[in-house]
A and B are shown apart, each in its own frame.
Chain A
Amino acid sequence: EAGVVQSPRYKIIEKKQPVAFWCNPISGHNTLYWYRQNLGQGPELLIRYENEEAVDDSQLPKDRFSAERLKGVDSTLKIQPAELGDSAVYLCASSLNAASAKNIQYFGAGTRLSVL
């Protein structure tokens, strides 16, 4: 069974340009997460979806970041316009049931964004 698939793996853009990341979660996983991981740091949650509903987006910089999860499956994360400080690895994860104490999150390989 395929794991969490993300694309692209790498993206280099100039500041002020838009960029989008795509995630395909594990089949049947209702919960989808987007994290940002800066160099030398642990991942930090940007947004969490339960099916197609965003249930936690308190850490998402809404002035420039947006996300959607149409039909409760694939998701896209967009940045417009990108800033130098957005350079990081963007990780997508999925899980069966976020409310369970046994909830294991499965991560994709991530998209490494460099803003020049």
Chain B
Amino acid sequence: KQEVTQIPAALSVPEGENLVLNCSFTDSAIYNLQWFRQDPGKGLTSLLLIQSSQREQTSGRLNASLDKSSGRSTLYIAASQPGDSATYLCAVGSGNTPLVFGKGTRLSVIA
């Protein structure tokens, strides 16, 4: 059974700092890995999707990497801003099986 772990559970950084969020998964037979953002009281917004054949995806200040063999992904946020404060969730997709989510990392960027 696929299990997804996110470390750290919470993170507080000063504005402008670069940061890395970590995600690990137990079964490397995946279709894709997605990073989502969830603001308090809101649904999830897809940030980046990495297919199993890819190693990284970039969108603006965000860069996500995937190492299938080691079961790891990282989300790199450059020059963090207070507006980046949210919970970031990692989810692993494996064909027609349901997405398996981690518990998320709660990020606070302090102005």
Contacts and interface: CB of A to CB of B under 8 A. Distances in A.
A57 B37 CA distance: 26
B104 A42 contact: yes
B46 A105 contact: yes
Interface string B30-53: 011010100001111110010111
Interface stretch (B13-21, B67-75, B77-85, B91-99): B91-99
Contacts of B42: 109-110
Contacts of A91: 43-44
A96 interface: no
A48 B97 CA distance: 10
A43 B51 contact: no
A84 B93 CA distance: 31
- Chain B interface, >50% SS class: strand
Given A102-B51, A109-B42, A56 B91 contact: no
B110 to A, nearest CB: 22
B44 A43 contact: yes
Given A4-B43, A91-B44, A105 B98 contact: no
Interface residues of A, number: 27
A45 B99 CA distance: 8
Nearest to A99: B96
Nearest to B48: A104
B43 A98 contact: no
Given A42-B91, A99-B95, A104-B34, A109 B43 contact: yes
A103 to B, nearest CB: 7
Interface of A: 4, 6, 40-45, 48, 55-56, 59, 91, 93, 98-99, 101-110, 112
Give me the 5 closest cross-chain CB pairs, A-B, nearest first: A42-B101, A107-B43, A45-B98, A107-B44, A101-B31
